[in-house]
Amino acid sequence: DTGVSQNPRHKITKRGQNVTFRCDPISEHNRLYWYRQTLGQGPEFLTYFQNEAQLEKSRLLSDRFSAERPKGSFSTLEIQRTEQGDSAMYLCASSPTELNTEAFFGQGTRLTVV
């Protein structure tokens, strides 16, 4: 297994367009996390899944953000009607279910909204 894979690595979009990112976790990792990170800040929690169940979603997010993990494997994060403030690095991480185990991060998708 080559680790957590995120696609695309970079995305430039015009304001108002919709974008979708994909995350393929490490095989057999039940948990999957999405974060947003801007320069000089820590990863901001967006949502996380246990298998296909979305267990929590940040209240900071507007309804323009949605995430799915339909079969408990890969996940997608969609941003509708993008705004310039959405420009950031979007990180995905996965981990086994067991307590106190490491979450492994993908390389991220850098979104630029122009």
Per-residue interface string for the shown chain with another protein, residues 10-29, x marking contact by CB under 8 A = --------------------
* Rg over CA atoms, the chain: 13
**Binds another protein by CB under 8 A, chosen from 26, 77, 91, 111:** 91
The least CB distance from residue 69 to another protein, in Å, is 15
**Binds another protein by CB under 8 A, chosen from 21, 35, 65, 90:** 35
User: CA 104 → CA 5, 34, 59, 64, distances in Å?
Assistant: 10, 12, 24, 26
Per-residue interface string for the shown chain with another protein, residues 41-80, x marking contact by CB under 8 A = xxxxx--x------xx--x---------------------
Report helix, strand or coil for 84.
helix
Identify which range of 15-23, 67-75, 80-88, 92-100 contacts another protein by CB under 8 A. Answer: 92-100
**Binds another protein by CB under 8 A, chosen from 26, 29, 86, 108:** 108
Tell me the torsion sign for CA atoms 18, 57, 107, 113.
positive
- From the centroid of its chain, how far is CA 101? 19
- C-alpha 40/C-alpha 58 separation (Å) is 20
The residue among 63, 67, 55, 72 whose CA lies nearest residue 91 is 67
Which residues are at the interface with another protein (CB under 8 A)? 33, 35, 41-45, 48, 55-56, 59, 91, 93, 95, 99-100, 102-103, 105-108
